[in-house]
């Protein structure tokens, strides 16, 4: 993987350098440039060119030569810009990472053993644990239903987007919600661009529902950090964070339950 990242970094920083002028807040390029620059540099491309873009949107950090050109409190984010077009855009820097100061809430683990055994990757396992333990319901206080996993669709002005899972929900007043969920493993990052695209997707596909984007990240094998996010005048921000630890029934003591009763809402 490090060798792959190094090749991808050379590609993206070469494309950025070709287009960037001091003071630019956006750098746009087309998919075909990946082939062109790879030939110039003698780099072997993956069969799926989308893996290059996917890496910098969801998994890896952009090269330092690019990040150093961001002004204070800002960062470069790679976003789709239409069919086969992408843009590196400056946005306010927001790190969505689990707080080390937040207490865990123990939840009896309802994940079927056969599901835990055969989940194929961290993301799949996390999505399953969210679903079987109704953690979206618990976190939001809504009654939630999984509508679709790995929703891929096209949004005008954005291009193709993928959301890990989409829930619909209802509250006690009868208000309906759409909840796009992004799920990340222990060593992955939650990207601002992903949340922005989820919000854009919901505005187009579910215009009559209230959108409440959620991000979930595994902290350990048993503990999950959950974030609710919202759009503000300054960009995406975290409005709520909770940590849930999935435990066996003997690990949840009467003292734990009493402590939860005394917590503020």
Mean pLDDT, 10 residues at a time, over the chain (265 residues)? 73 94 93 90 82 79 91 87 86 87 95 88 90 98 96 83 95 98 89 88 96 96 95 87 96 94 79
The CA-atom distances, in angstroms, between 55 and each of 97, 157, 174, 210, 222 are: 19, 21, 40, 30, 26
Please enumerate in sequence order all residues whose Cβ is within 8 A of that of 127, keeping only pairs 6 or more positions apart, or say none: 149, 164, 165, 181, 183
Confidence at residue 48, expressed as pLDDT on a 0 to 100 scale: 79
Confidence at residue 123, expressed as pLDDT on a 0 to 100 scale: 87
Confidence at residue 127, expressed as pLDDT on a 0 to 100 scale: 95
Confidence at residue 85, expressed as pLDDT on a 0 to 100 scale: 87
- Tell me the whole-structure pTM to 2 decimals: 0.80
Confidence at residue 5, expressed as pLDDT on a 0 to 100 scale: 66
DSSP structural state of residue 57: I
Confidence at residue 4, expressed as pLDDT on a 0 to 100 scale: 63
CA angle 79, 139, 229 (to 5 degrees): 25
Confidence at residue 265, expressed as pLDDT on a 0 to 100 scale: 62
Residue 91 contacts residue 73 (beta carbons within 8 Å): no
> Which secondary-structure segment (H or E) carries 231?
strand 223-232
- 24, two tokens: 């630019």
Confidence at residue 1, expressed as pLDDT on a 0 to 100 scale: 45
């Amino acid at each position: 993987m490090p060798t792959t990242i190094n090749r991808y970094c050379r590609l993206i920083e070469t494309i950025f350098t070709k287009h960037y002028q001091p003071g630019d807040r956006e750098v746009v390029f087309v998919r075909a440039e990946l082939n062109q620059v790879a030939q110039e540099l003698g780099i072997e491309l993956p069969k799926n060119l989308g893996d290059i873009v996917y890496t910098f949107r969801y998994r890896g950090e952009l090269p330092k030569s690019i990040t150093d050109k961001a002004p204070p409190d800002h960062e470069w984010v790679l976003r789709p810009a239409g069919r086969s077009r992408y843009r590196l855009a400056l946005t306010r820097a927001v790190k969505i990472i689990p707080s080390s100061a937040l207490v865990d809430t123990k939840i009896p683990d309802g994940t079927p053993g056969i599901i835990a055994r055969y989940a194929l990757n961290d993301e799949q396992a996390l999505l399953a644990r969210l679903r079987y333990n109704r953690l979206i319901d618990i976190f939001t206080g809504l009654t939630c239903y999984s509508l679709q996993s790995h929703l891929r669709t096209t949004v005008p002005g954005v291009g193709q987007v993928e959301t890990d899972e989409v829930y619909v929900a209802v509250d006690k007043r009868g208000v309906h919600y759409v909840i796009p969920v992004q799920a990340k493993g222990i060593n992955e990052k939650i990207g601002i661009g992903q949340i922005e695209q989820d919000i854009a997707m919901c505005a187009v596909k579910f215009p009559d529902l209230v959108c409440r984007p959620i991000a979930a990240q595994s902290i350990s094998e048993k503990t999950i950090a959950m974030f609710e996010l919202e759009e503000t005048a300054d960009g995406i921000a975290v409005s709520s964070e909770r940590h849930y630890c999935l435990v066996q029934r003997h690990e949840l003591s009467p003292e734990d339950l009493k402590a939860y009763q005394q917590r503020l809402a």
